[in-house]
Every structure is written in structure tokens, then in C-alpha cells.
Structure 1
Amino acid sequence: MLLHQQEIKFSQYSSIYDLIVPKDNLLRKVNDIIDFSFVYQELVDKYCSNNGRMAHSPVRMFKYLLLKTIYTLSDVDVVERSLYDMSFKYFLEMSPEEDVINPSSLTKFRKLRLKDTDLLNLLINKTVSVAIEKGVIRSKSIIVDATHTLSRTNPFSALAVLRERSKLLRKTIYSYQEDWKERMPKKNTDNDLEKELSYCKELEQVIGQDETISAIPAIKEKLNLLKETVEDTRENINSAKDADAKLGYKSVDNPFFGYKTHLAMTEERIITAAVVTSGEKGDGPELPKLIKMSQENGLDFDTVIGDAAYSGKENIQLAKDQDLKIVAKLNPSITQGFRKDEDKFDYNKDADMFVCPAGHLAIRKARQGKKKMGVNQVDTYFFDVEKCKTCPLKNGCYKQGAKTKSYSVSIKSDLHKEQMEFQESPYFKEKAKERYKIEAKNGELKNAHGFGRAISYGINNMEMQAAIALFTVNVKRILKLARV
């Protein structure tokens, strides 16, 4: 039951916040700039209004998830810290003497209340509207790109995360007592997940037995984070393969198994749209969605900046129809002609190859036709015919008994000729210099907000993870630009 959750609880101790939470505190500034009542309005229908136990405020639960992302904390630690950290309590709109929630409530909130909610677009829309209101968006361009996130299924990804967590724990301990190096258990050097789990468990036990070191707050946080990672890894180590994740390519020799988040961002580094897909999807086909979503979120722009993946024929035509400029270098391999949607092959810019509808990357390419003016030239991409023979999508794509399977694209059209002329303009060359900004944003998401690896299974959970992370980086950027 959700009742009177938005009422402010008055306390005789509330004035303490003015004394110990400074005006320039990050969480105070976030509370000042964002009206979180939109969370209540979005989720109120997920609660019963007249039956069941009293539910926690959806606004407060959402803020707990933000705190987890901002400070990279486990469920246990974000709740425990909110017990004594007055800036956390202030942000959560708790009275100083108020008790905290049970950490398990956060799991229930994610699974029950946020399910089937378009949280990703909701949160981006909210931050973009705040950015527009604060006047921090002045450019007339959006920059587009995609960043990959590894699935939890990949055991080497889990191993890497465990090693990073244990390394952070050891480093924190050494900063307090360097002589602990001699007391640490022997590290696992094999690429064996089970051995790494055993090492982490042994590390937990050794540190946990010494209360003089394990009780130090900074160490306790890192220890709890490692425990949560170990438990979650053990819980899912024998689970079924992540059905929504797919094999994609960062380069022709560097595949990954997971997801892609396709982003649109202003030159001021405010994210205006995002689409989460499985890893094998091409970047270019998602551009129409990013343009439409950015426009629906209130952004006024006349230029789209991206890499070669976005200069496909369909995107150039879309831009022309909407009187937009595409600042993306033309690559002849991107021209896909007038194929039926069900037959469309996607271009992977990193591998410089096409990917078939089944997700298989071409193994080689060859240029054919007359070279003069490039009018009749085509690029032909060849696929592994052994994979085609057993492919579930072979009907209408691969002819039984054929010794090769290829896909050919013409190199130049009138649209591309216009684009080639535009590429030589001073405007194109100047705007192209802005593209690095979105690569830096991708790095921030991965390095500061855990976006390098999915924290749960399935594309819905990946969208939820993206929603919280993108909301966080947008709010932090707005605060910096608005100098609040």
C-alpha cells in the first residue's frame, strides 16, 4: 500500500542538516536542481492504494539506486551509510533520527516497481528538460555513438570484476596497514573463475577475522562490495546463457558478448537519447530513433555528428528530408542499396565488415567493377559458407549447395556525391572535431559508473542499468555547467 508517501516528516533535529551538510555538497545540489516527484507520478500505479503493508516511498527507493551508482556501493553499504551519513539522509529526505530500509527492499523495488517502465527515456527526458530550463544547452548539434557492455554470462568478465574488487580491497587495507601484505592469502593467477571465487572467499575470511581492520568504514565498504559480487557470481555461475545478449565486434579480431547502448549527446555533453540493443546490432540503423527521441525530448538541432557507421544511404536521406546535416565521413561500404528490411545486412564500422541478419561477420571483402569515377564499382563481402549451411535464417538467404555466400553494395549514388562535397566544407571539418566528446562520455560511464559490464541478465535489466547511469552523468554535468 502506498499512502501519504510524499508528506514531509518534521523533526526537531532537522536543523542539523544546515549545520553539517554544506551548500556545495553534491547531494544537496542534486536535490535542489531536480524535482523527484516525477518518480512518484510514474510509479504510483504500481502500488495498491488501500491494501497490504505500508510501502517505502518510490522516490526514496529511486534515490537509493542513484546513490549506489554515484558512489559505487553495494545494497548493504548504501543502506548502512544512509544510517550515519547525514548527506545521504538529507538526500533521501529522511529525518536525522529515522531508521533505514532493509537492503533486500532494493531488489524488490527493481524487480517489482521498475518492471515494464520506460525508465530510460523517462529519466533522460527529465534531465534534458532541466538542462534546457537552466539554459546550459546552447549548441545546435547532437553527437552519436554506441558503447558496448559485457554480459554477466561471460566468465572472464566475472573474473575480471572479482579481481578488480579484491584489488581495491587490498589497496585500501594497505593504505591503513602496509604490513598486511604478509598476511594476505596467495592470489589466484589462473584464468579460472572457480579458483578466483575461492581466493575471494578466503580473502573475506582472513580480513573478517580481524575486527580492528574490518571495522574501518572504508575497508568495510570494499569488503561488502566484494562479498556481494562473490554471492551474485556464485548464484548465476550455472545459470542459462543470457538469452538477450549477442556477439558483437569492437574490431575484426576483438569480439564481445553483451549489449550496446546507442547514445545521442549535445556538444555540452548532455545525453539526449539512448537505445539499448543486443551486441550484434549495427550503429547506423539506430540513428532515426536517436534523432526522433532527441526531438521528442525537446531538443532543437540541425546537425548530427558521428563516425562512418552513420553515413549510410538511409540516414543521409532521412537527414535531407528533415533538413539536417550529417557530419559523418562517407564510407563506400555503408551504402546498402534498396534491400528489403528482412534482407538488410548491417555494417560494423570497427571491423569494416558487414554482419548478416544472423549476426555472423563477413570474413573478407573484394572491390569489383570499373574504377573510373567509381560509378559502377561495388564492394562484395564474403561469409563463412559453413555457417550458412546450418544457419536457421538460411531460407531465402543461402542457396543450398552454393560454395560461396556474398553480399554486394554499390559505392556511390547522387546522395553520396552530395555528401562527399559536404565533407570538404569548412563546416564539416570544424564540427567533426566535436566527436571525441562522446567517446570521453563513454569512458566516464564505464570507468566511473560500472557500465563496462551488465549487473544483471536480460535486456530489460540492461535498460534499467543504463537509465540510472545516464541520469547520474547528466545531473552531474548539469550541475557543473549551471555552476549551482
Structure 2
Amino acid sequence: MISNQESLNLSPFMAIYDIVVPKENMLRKINELVDFTFILEELKTKYCLDNGRNAVPPIRMFKYLLLKSIFDLSDVDVVERSKYDMSFKYFLDMAPEDSVIDPSSLTKFRKLRLPDEGLLDMLIGKTVEIALEKEIIKSKSIIVDATHTRARYNQKSPKEFLQEKAKNVRKAVYQMDESMKEKFPSKPTSDEVEVELNYCRQVISVVEEEPQLAFLPAVKEKLNVLKEVVDDYTEQLSYSNDPDARVGHKTADSSFFGYKTHIAMSDERIITAAIVTTGEKSDGKYLQDLIDKSKETGMEIDTVIGDTAYSEKNNIRYTKENDIALVSKLHPVNQGTRTKEDEFEFNKDAGMYVCMAGHMAVKKGRHGRKDSGKNQRETYYFDVEKCKVCPLKEGCYKEGAKYKTYSTTIKSTEHKEQEAFQNTEEFKEKAKSRYKIEAKNSELKHKHGYDTASSAGLFSMEIQGATAIFVVNLKRILKLLSEKE
């Protein structure tokens, strides 16, 4: 049951906050900026309203998730810090003497209480609403890009993953006390995951019996990770098989296993829309959705700025129909016609096509002469050995074939208007703003843990994206408001 959210806190110690949490404290400013009761409205259907034991207020649970994102902390560490950090307790609307939650409650809250869909749009919409009310957003242009997030659960066997985490603990311990080598159990030789799990439990037990080591930050951090991994495996969660993560390609020679977040951002660096997908998805396919979602927040848009991934024919047509200037350079593959557009997607970073199975072409070649009077073709060659064993080969690869290729016809004349626009000073000037979104992506990754997924599955990735973007938008709004004062 949801407890009374508006009950007054009558603790005699509340005045402590006025002493230890100054007015310029970021968490105090966020509390003053945002009316978090909108969260309660969204979560009412997830709680029983008239019977049962009082639940921890959902607004407080949501704020715990925000603290995790703001300070890039684990469930265990954010709860631990909430015991003694008065700015945390103030932000959580707790009395100084109140006890904190059990860390496991956060996991349950994410899985059982948060909306099944729409959380990302709701939180972005709320921050854009605040920015528009404060007259922070004045531009009518958005910058678009996609950033990748690696899956927490790498493409390793369960045994390899457990071995890696146990090794990290042993290494951290040895740096403090090499004599501990004699106390650890012998490494298992069996390939059974259960045997490796038992070994990891023994490693945890040995370290915890040495409190002078277990409480050292360098050791404690690695130990907490190992404990979480063991707990997850015990609950039948396989780290080697994130069901939704996919292989994506950053360049022709580098790839990642995880997810993509497609982002639209105003010129004032407020994120106006985001879509979380699996890693193999093409950036350009989501331009129209990003524009539509940005408009739904109240944004007016007359210009969209992006890299070559967004200059597909459909995007050029869509922006023209909606009187939007598309500041995106043409790529030769976007200037012609091709078949099977839904089966082969172009990866602009690598300059290669990727098939439905996520395999990238290994080389390409151009055929035909420019002055021949016929259209040139660009042909992409795939690794036929992968095609032979691909589960999607039916209708794509012919048994016994020595090659698997995919070709595009280059017709630059079809994009004359866009080509003319990209040669103008207006285009070149507006294109200079694109760096802003790359800086925003860097902020998400390096300050808010968005470089690695915190859990498995697309839904968990959407929750992580929602809270991280909500936080960076609030921080940006606070900064712009302080500049206006």
C-alpha cells in the first residue's frame, strides 16, 4: 500500500539540514526545481491503494535510482551512503534519524513498480517542460546522434565470467597482503558452473573473515561485484546470455556487444528525445521518431543536425515535407536505389553494410565507369564461412556459393537539392553545432555510468537511460538557470 505522501515530517532534528546541506547543494536545488509528485501519479497502478503494509514511498524509491545515476553507485553503495550522507537523506525526504531501505528493494522496485513502457519519454518530457517554463530552450533546432552502451554481461561463458570476477578480488587482496595467497582455496579444474560458483563463495568467505582487508575500498568494491555476480547466477541469471544485447559496429575493425541510445538534443544541450535499441540497429532509421518525440514535448523544430547516417532518402523526403532543414551530409550509398533495404543496413562508422544476423561486410568494390553513361554499382562482400552456418541463411545464402555480396546503385542526381544545400554557408555554419551532442554522450558515459549496462535486458537498459538522461537534463537546467541569475 502507498503511504501518505504528503504527511509532514515532525522530526525534531529536521533543522540539521539547514546547517549541513547548503543552498548551493545540487541535490537541494533539484528538490526545489522538480515537483516529484508526477512520479506518484504514474506509479499508482503498481501499488495497492487501500490495504496491506505501507510501502516505502515510491517517490523516495525513484530518488534512490536518481542518486545511483548522479553518483554512479551500485545498489549496495547508494544505500550505504544514504545512512550517513545528510544531503542524500535530505534529497530522499527522510528525517536524519530514519533508517534506510534494504538494497534488494531497489531491484524489486525496478522490476515490479516502474512503468512497463513510457518511462523514458515521461522523464524527458518532464525536464523539457521545466526548461520551456523557465524559458531556457529558445532554439528551434535539434542535434541527433546515437551512443553505444556495452552489455554488462559480456560474450563469455558463465565459468569465464565468474573466473574473471574472482580473479579481480584476489588481485586486489594480493596488492594489500600477498600472504593471503595461502588462505585462498585451490582453483577448480572442472568445467561445471556450480563448481565455479562454490569456489567464488569460498573466496568471498575468506576475504570477509579478514575485516582489515574486506573494508578497504579497493577490495570492497571488487568483493561487492563478485557477490552480486554470484547472487545473480544463483537466481538463474546467465551473464553470458543477455537476451536482448546485440553486436554493433563502431568502425570496420571494432565492434561492441550491447545497446544503442538514439538521442535528440536542443542547441541548449537539453535532451529532447531518446530511443533505446539493441546494438545492431541503424542510426538513420530513428530520425523521424526522434523528431516526432521532440515535438511531443513542446519543441518547435525547423532544423535537424546529424552526421551522414541521417541522410537517407526517406529522411530527406520527410524533413522536406515538414519544412525542416536537414543538416546531414550525403554519403554515396544514400544517393541511389537498393533492394532489400530492411535486410541490409549501412553502418556509417565502418562504411560497410551489415546483414540481419549482424555480420558486417569484409570488403567492398565499385564497378562501372563514371563516363560510361550507366550507373555505377558498389558491391559489398561478406564472409561466406559465416553465411554457411548462419541461422538466417535461408533465402539469403545459396548452398555452395563461393561468394555472398550485396550491391547498391549510385545515383547522385537524385539528391541534387540536398547536395546543393550542403555546399552552402548556412549548412556549414549549422553543422558546427554537432560536436555538442558528442560531448553530451561523453558526459552520460563517463560521469553517469552509461558506458556499461547496469543489468540485463532492453527494459533495464531503458530504465538506466531514463534516469541518466533525466539527471543530465536537470544538471544542465540548473547550470543555465545559474547563468541567468
Q: Between 444-453 and 400-409, report the one with greater CA deviation.
A: 400-409
Contact 1:127 1:474 in 2 (8 A): yes
Matched, 1:308 2:308: yes
In structure 2, what is the equivalent of residue 249 of structure 1?
249
SS in 2 for 1:147: strand
Q: TM-score, structure 1 length as denominator?
A: 0.86
In structure 1, what is the equivalent of residue 361 of structure 2?
362
Following the alignment from structure 1 to structure 2, what is the Cα–Cα distance between the partners of residues 459 and 237?
15
How far apart are 1:337 and its partner, in Å?
Answer: 2.5
Q: Between 229-238 and 353-362, report the one with greater CA deviation.
A: 229-238
In structure 1, what is the equivalent of residue 346 of structure 2?
347
How far apart are 1:126 and its partner, in Å?
Answer: 0.9
Q: Residues 299, 151 of structure 1: CA spacing in aligned structure 2 closer, same or farther, 3 A cutoff?
A: same
Q: Residues 4, 426 of structure 1: CA spacing in aligned structure 2 closer, same or farther, 3 A cutoff?
A: same
Contact 1:184 1:206 in 2 (8 A): no
Amino acid at match of 2:476: R
Q: Residues 53, 141 of structure 1: CA spacing in aligned structure 2 closer, same or farther, 3 A cutoff?
A: same
SS in 2 for 1:347: strand
In structure 2, what is the equivalent of residue 124 of structure 1?
124
Q: Between 136-145 and 104-113, report the one with greater CA deviation.
A: 136-145
Amino acid at match of 1:303: T
How far apart are 1:479 and its partner, in Å?
Answer: 0.9
Matched, 1:100 2:100: yes
Matched, 1:426 2:425: yes
Runs of 5+ unmatched residues, structure 1: 175-179, 187-193
Task: After TM superposition, list the pairs within 5 Å mapping 1:264-413 onto structure 2.
Answer: 264-335=264-335, 337=337, 339=339, 343-372=342-371, 376-413=375-412
Q: Residues 169, 299 of structure 1: CA spacing in aligned structure 2 closer, same or farther, 3 A cutoff?
A: farther
In structure 1, what is the equivalent of residue 17 of structure 2?
17
Q: Residues 198, 212 of structure 1: CA spacing in aligned structure 2 closer, same or farther, 3 A cutoff?
A: same
Amino acid at match of 1:377: Q
In structure 2, what is the equivalent of residue 191 of structure 1?
none
How far apart are 1:320 and its partner, in Å?
Answer: 0.9
SS in 2 for 1:272: strand
- The Cα offsets for residues 389-425 of structure 1, whole Å up to 9 and x where unpaired, read as 4444344434455443322222235542111111111
In structure 1, what is the equivalent of residue 4 of structure 2?
4
Amino acid at match of 1:135: E
Contact 2:397 2:404 in 1 (8 A): yes
Contact 2:142 2:266 in 1 (8 A): yes
In structure 1, what is the equivalent of residue 186 of structure 2?
none
Amino acid at match of 2:460: N
How far apart are 1:335 and its partner, in Å?
Answer: 4.2
Contact 1:158 1:233 in 2 (8 A): no
Contact 2:365 2:379 in 1 (8 A): yes
Q: Residues 211, 397 of structure 1: CA spacing in aligned structure 2 closer, same or farther, 3 A cutoff?
A: closer
Q: Residues 159, 365 of structure 1: CA spacing in aligned structure 2 closer, same or farther, 3 A cutoff?
A: farther
Following the alignment from structure 2 to structure 1, what is the Cα–Cα distance between the partners of residues 252 and 371?
30
Following the alignment from structure 1 to structure 2, what is the Cα–Cα distance between the partners of residues 118 and 234?
30
SS in 2 for 1:98: coil
Aligned length: 472
Q: Residues 199, 241 of structure 1: CA spacing in aligned structure 2 closer, same or farther, 3 A cutoff?
A: closer
Task: After TM superposition, list the pairs within 5 Å mapping 1:209-248 onto structure 2.
Answer: 222=221, 225-226=224-225, 231=230, 238-239=238-239, 241-248=241-248
Following the alignment from structure 2 to structure 1, what is the Cα–Cα distance between the partners of residues 141 and 317?
18
Following the alignment from structure 2 to structure 1, what is the Cα–Cα distance between the partners of residues 377 and 261?
31
Task: After TM superposition, list the pairs within 5 Å mapping 1:106-255 onto structure 2.
Answer: 106-114=106-114, 116-154=116-154, 222=221, 225-226=224-225, 231=230, 238-239=238-239, 241-255=241-255
SS in 2 for 1:417: helix
Q: Residues 227, 246 of structure 1: CA spacing in aligned structure 2 closer, same or farther, 3 A cutoff?
A: closer
SS in 2 for 1:483: helix
Following the alignment from structure 2 to structure 1, what is the Cα–Cα distance between the partners of residues 375 and 391?
34
Amino acid at match of 1:397: C
Amino acid at match of 1:96: P
- The Cα offsets for residues 343-395 of structure 1, whole Å up to 9 and x where unpaired, read as 44211011101112222211221112331499722212222334334444344
SS in 2 for 1:125: helix
Following the alignment from structure 1 to structure 2, what is the Cα–Cα distance between the partners of residues 426 and 66?
42
Q: Residues 137, 9 of structure 1: CA spacing in aligned structure 2 closer, same or farther, 3 A cutoff?
A: same
Following the alignment from structure 2 to structure 1, what is the Cα–Cα distance between the partners of residues 82 and 230?
23
Contact 2:43 2:115 in 1 (8 A): no
Aligned residues with identical type, % of pairs: 54
Contact 1:313 1:337 in 2 (8 A): no
In structure 1, what is the equivalent of residue 461 of structure 2?
462
Amino acid at match of 1:34: V
SS in 2 for 1:251: coil
SS in 1 for 2:250: strand
In structure 1, what is the equivalent of residue 190 of structure 2?
none
Q: Residues 316, 249 of structure 1: CA spacing in aligned structure 2 closer, same or farther, 3 A cutoff?
A: same
Q: Residues 163, 311 of structure 1: CA spacing in aligned structure 2 closer, same or farther, 3 A cutoff?
A: farther
Following the alignment from structure 1 to structure 2, what is the Cα–Cα distance between the partners of residues 163 and 25?
39
Q: Residues 407, 340 of structure 1: CA spacing in aligned structure 2 closer, same or farther, 3 A cutoff?
A: closer
SS in 2 for 1:320: helix
How far apart are 1:250 and its partner, in Å?
Answer: 1.1
SS in 2 for 1:350: coil
Following the alignment from structure 1 to structure 2, what is the Cα–Cα distance between the partners of residues 134 and 221?
43
In structure 1, what is the equivalent of residue 434 of structure 2?
435
SS in 1 for 2:460: helix
Following the alignment from structure 2 to structure 1, what is the Cα–Cα distance between the partners of residues 49 and 403?
63
Following the alignment from structure 1 to structure 2, what is the Cα–Cα distance between the partners of residues 63 and 260?
25
Q: Residues 17, 387 of structure 1: CA spacing in aligned structure 2 closer, same or farther, 3 A cutoff?
A: same
Contact 2:262 2:275 in 1 (8 A): yes
Q: Between 126-135 and 218-227, report the one with greater CA deviation.
A: 218-227
Contact 1:2 1:47 in 2 (8 A): yes
SS in 1 for 2:476: helix
Following the alignment from structure 1 to structure 2, what is the Cα–Cα distance between the partners of residues 232 and 266?
42
Superposition RMSD on alpha carbons, in Å?
3.6
Following the alignment from structure 1 to structure 2, what is the Cα–Cα distance between the partners of residues 306 and 313?
14
Contact 2:363 2:380 in 1 (8 A): yes
Q: Residues 27, 299 of structure 1: CA spacing in aligned structure 2 closer, same or farther, 3 A cutoff?
A: same
Q: Residues 215, 338 of structure 1: CA spacing in aligned structure 2 closer, same or farther, 3 A cutoff?
A: closer
Contact 1:334 1:347 in 2 (8 A): no
How far apart are 1:112 and its partner, in Å?
Answer: 0.6
- The Cα offsets for residues 300-335 of structure 1, whole Å up to 9 and x where unpaired, read as 121111111111111111111111111111111234
Amino acid at match of 1:463: E
Q: Between 36-45 and 236-245, report the one with greater CA deviation.
A: 236-245
- The Cα offsets for residues 85-115 of structure 1, whole Å up to 9 and x where unpaired, read as 2111110111222222222211111111015
- The Cα offsets for residues 8-40 of structure 1, whole Å up to 9 and x where unpaired, read as 323222222112210000100010111111111
